[in-house]
């Protein structure tokens, strides 16, 4: 069998175009385009190529500058009978290279929240996202949500064989609805294997940032590309029990200052992500304590070792991802990488006898626990979080001076607060909270819950996301002149 065609020339004179498949790049030369005569596109960004009814069609996302925003390019032109075999062969070769072991024309259930963040989601979907899905020939079932928990209600009855992935154009709240819809589904195990992927249009957009990185999360076209080309990636989910009822959390739970700045700034949604900074500053001025008792089943508490483990896990995930690009596609949609561990969770009744349980009952500024490094574009709260380590990252911030907390703001995007002596950071199997009173906020994935006793444990590898990389996207390492990790507190007598 002859090797696939790697160059295609169509048209003549001023209308001539040349397409070259060169390694992992597609080069396009268009004589008639004075503004952008030469385009280079990574094969990852090629959406479609085909010859249909004598017309060569090519769609791709391209950038004029490396740090620029994606632009959707749709190119087409007639193919002569003489060029038809070579054009068809080139299109087939290009599609095979652009979708290595990936399903084409995904069937997407899309939820768009018109009220998320600044309230521009509908317009952005119509202008930016819909044309990209159309260019990739995706089969889209679209719902514009009109009331709270509509997505959750629909997901509870979702026909699982109908969709390859669920796309959520909203903030993180609608993602919370979808995972809790899976929990109530008649076939929850199958439901949780359905990949979920975000298109950021809210205030925090934490999941999108963690999957795409800080730069690409600013470009909703990159999120659309992830829905088209991302590979299934397992993720731990967090089971929260309160009042005898179970809820599923994918991102975070917070008390004290963090919950106040999250739920107490709803009236500032028009500010986008800046509302959290305003809330943080206001909270520090008030400098209130959070009177709770926190018990944590600790797995690891060595901050430096946790950084090293995170770096090693990222390298392994990236290597696995590269190998998968050469292998067969997954037929059942199950996660292609990020296999879940099987940690043994101790029963809560063993707390008195198990030395791994650590108890805090002293004044705290906040408790913040979750999965995924970024909680917003400005805050790298859980820098050593991993998708499938079977653990939840728990931070407990003791009372300290306002000056120290204000200094931490400057480095929050870099995760500098991780190294604060007064911020205790744990990898944990489970934790529980007993509030001293019911005044205050409990935020779960940005949603308001009553401030009542609750407990959280990890459900290893239960959820599925889509990822272009196989791991979270962040840049975090040991400091050149770092401090020693904060000492591990002893259980209260």
Give the pLDDT score at 286: 61
Q: How far apart are CA 209 and CA 200, in angstroms?
A: 8
- Mean pLDDT, residues 464-475: 95
Give the pLDDT score at 283: 59
Q: How far apart are CA 190 and CA 192, in angstroms?
A: 6
Least confident segment among 138-142, 228-232, 341-345, 359-363 = 341-345
Q: Is 344 a residue whose pLDDT tops 50?
A: no
Q: Do 368 and 347 touch, CB atoms closer than 8 A?
A: no
Q: Is 236 a residue whose pLDDT tops 80?
A: yes
Residue written as tokens 């008639």?
32
9 - beta bridge partners?
18
* Per-residue buried b or exposed e for 246-255, using 16+ beta carbons within 10 Å of the residue's own CB: ebbbbbbbbb
Angle between helices 402-410 and 274-286 (to 10 degrees): 170
Report the CATH number of the 240-467 domain: 2.60.200.40
User: Nearest-CA neighbor of 269 among 204, 335, 221?
Assistant: 204
Tokens of 43: 């094969």
364 - beta bridge partners?
290, 398
Q: Is 424 a residue whose pLDDT tops 80?
A: yes
- Mean pLDDT, residues 259-277: 59
Q: For 428-455, what is each residue's pLDDT tens digit?
A: 999 999 998 888 889 999 899 999 999 9
Give the pLDDT score at 278: 60
Q: How far apart are CA 478 and CA 220, in angstroms?
A: 31
Burial of 18 (0-12, 13-18, 19+ CB in 10 A): middle
DSSP letter for 486, please: P
pLDDT tier, 337 (very low <50, low <70, confident <90, very high otherwise) = low
H/E element holding 492? none
Q: For 292-319, what is each residue's pLDDT tens digit?
A: 999 999 999 999 999 999 999 999 998 8
- Top-confidence residue, 263 or 37: 37
Q: How far apart are CA 403 and CA 111, in angstroms?
A: 43
- Mean pLDDT, residues 372-388: 94
Tokens of 384: 């050593």
- Mean pLDDT, residues 471-482: 85
- What 3 state SS string does 300-316 have? ECCHHHHHHHHHHHHHH
- Mean pLDDT, residues 52-59: 96
Backbone angles phi, psi at 285, to 5 degrees: -65, -40
CATH topology agreement for domains 107-229 and 240-467: no
Give the pLDDT score at 492: 37
Q: Is 80 a residue whose pLDDT tops 90?
A: yes
Report the CATH number of the 107-229 domain: 3.40.50.10330
* Mean model confidence pLDDT for the chain: 86
Q: How far apart are CA 408 and CA 418, in angstroms?
A: 9
- Mean pLDDT, residues 149-178: 96
- What 3 state SS string does 37-81 have? CEEEEEHHHEEEEEEECCEEEEEEEECCCCCCCCEEEEEEEECCC
Give the pLDDT score at 97: 94
Give the pLDDT score at 27: 96
H/E element holding 81? none
User: Nearest-CA neighbor of 90 among 27, 16, 14?
Assistant: 27
Least confident segment among 128-137, 203-212, 407-416 = 407-416
pLDDT tier, 345 (very low <50, low <70, confident <90, very high otherwise) = very low
Q: Is 3 a residue whose pLDDT tops 90?
A: no
pTM of the predicted structure, to 2 decimals: 0.88
- Mean pLDDT, residues 365-391: 94
**CA distances in angstroms from 179 to 129, 191, 337, listed in the order given:** 23, 9, 20
Give the pLDDT score at 334: 40
**Architecture in CATH of 7-98:** Roll (2.30)
Give the pLDDT score at 272: 54
Taking only Cα atoms into account, the Rg of the chain, rounded to an integer number of angstroms, comes to: 24
- 68 CB neighbour count, 10 Å cutoff: 10
- What 3 state SS string does 128-193 have? HHHHHHHHCCCEEEEEECCCCCHHHHHHHCCCHHHCCEEEEEECHHHHHHHHHHHHCCCCHHHHHC
Q: Is 343 a residue whose pLDDT tops 50?
A: no
CA torsion, ordered 57, 61, 64, 66, to nearest 10 deg: -140
3-state percent breakdown (helix, strand, coil) of the chain, nearest 5: 30, 30, 40
Give the pLDDT score at 135: 98
150 - beta bridge partners?
none
Q: Please state the domain extents for the chain.
A: 7-98, 107-229, 240-467
- 55 CB neighbour count, 10 Å cutoff: 12
Least confident segment among 113-122, 178-187, 300-309, 381-390 = 113-122
Q: Is 493 a residue whose pLDDT tops 60?
A: no
- Top-confidence residue, 158 or 331: 158
Q: Is 277 a residue whose pLDDT tops 70?
A: no
Strand ranges across the sheet with 46-52: 46-52, 55-62, 71-78
pLDDT tier, 260 (very low <50, low <70, confident <90, very high otherwise) = confident
- 347 CB neighbour count, 10 Å cutoff: 8
Instruction: Cite the DSSP H helix spans in 213-302.
Output: 220-229, 257-263, 274-286
């Amino acid at each position: 069998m002859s090797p696939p065609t790697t160059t295609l020339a169509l048209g003549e004179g001023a209308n001539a175009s040349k397409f070259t498949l060169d390694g992992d790049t597609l080069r396009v030369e268009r004589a008639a385009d004075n503004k952008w005569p030469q385009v280079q596109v990574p094969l990852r960004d090629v959406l479609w190529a085909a010859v249909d009814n004598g017309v060569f069609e090519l769609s791709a996302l391209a950038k004029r500058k490396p740090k620029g925003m994606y632009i959707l390019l749709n190119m087409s032109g007639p193919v002569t009978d003489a060029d038809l075999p070579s054009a068809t062969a080139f299109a087939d070769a290009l599609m095979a290279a652009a979708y290595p072991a990936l399903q084409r024309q995904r069937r997407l259930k899309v939820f768009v929240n018109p009220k998320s963040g600044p309230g521009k989601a509908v317009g952005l979907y119509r202008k930016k996202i819909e044309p990209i899905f159309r260019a990739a020939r995706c089969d889209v079932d679209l719902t514009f949500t009109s009331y709270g928990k509509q997505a959750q209600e629909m997901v509870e009855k979702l026909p699982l064989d109908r969709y390859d992935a669920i796309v959520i154009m909203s903030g993180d709240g609608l993602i919370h609805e979808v995972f809790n819809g899976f929990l109530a589904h008649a076939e929850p195990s199958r439901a949780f294997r359905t990949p979920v992927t975000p298109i950021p249009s809210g205030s925090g957009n934490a999941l999108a940032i963690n999957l795409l990185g800080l730069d690409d999360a600013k470009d909703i076209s990159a999120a659309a590309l992830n829905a088209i080309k991302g590979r299934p990636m397992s993720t731990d989910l967090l089971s929260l029990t309160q009042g005898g009822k179970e809820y599923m959390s994918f991102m975070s739970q917070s008390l004290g200052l963090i919950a106040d700045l999250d739920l107490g700034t709803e009236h500032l949604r028009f500010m986008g992500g800046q509302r959290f900074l305003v809330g943080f500053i206001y909270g520090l001025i008030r400098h209130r304590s959070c009177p709770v008792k926190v018990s944590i089943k600790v797995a690891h508490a060595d901050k430096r070792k946790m950084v090293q483990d995170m770096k090693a896990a990222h390298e392994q995930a990236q290597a696995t991802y590269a190998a998968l690009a050469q292998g067969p596609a997954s037929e059942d949609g199950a996660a292609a990488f990020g296999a879940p561990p099987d940690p043994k969770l101790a029963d809560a009744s063993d707390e008195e006898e198990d030395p791994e349980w650590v108890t805090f009952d002293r004044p705290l500024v906040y408790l913040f626990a979750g999965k995924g490094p970024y909680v917003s574009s400005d805050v790298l709260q859980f820098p050593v979080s991993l998708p499938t380590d079977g653990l939840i990252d728990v931070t407990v911030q003791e009372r300290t001076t306002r000056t120290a907390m204000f200094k931490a703001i400057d480095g929050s995007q870099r995760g500098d607060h991780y190294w604060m002596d007064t911020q205790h950071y744990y990898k944990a199997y489970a934790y529980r909270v007993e509030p001293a009173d019911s005044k205050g906020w409990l935020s779960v994935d940005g949603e308001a819950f009553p401030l009542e006793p609750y407990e959280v444990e990890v459900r290893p590898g239960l959820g599925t996301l889509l990822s272009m990389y196989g791991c979270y996207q962040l840049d975090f390492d040991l400091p050149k002149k770092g401090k020693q990790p904060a000492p591990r507190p002893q259980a209260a007598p």
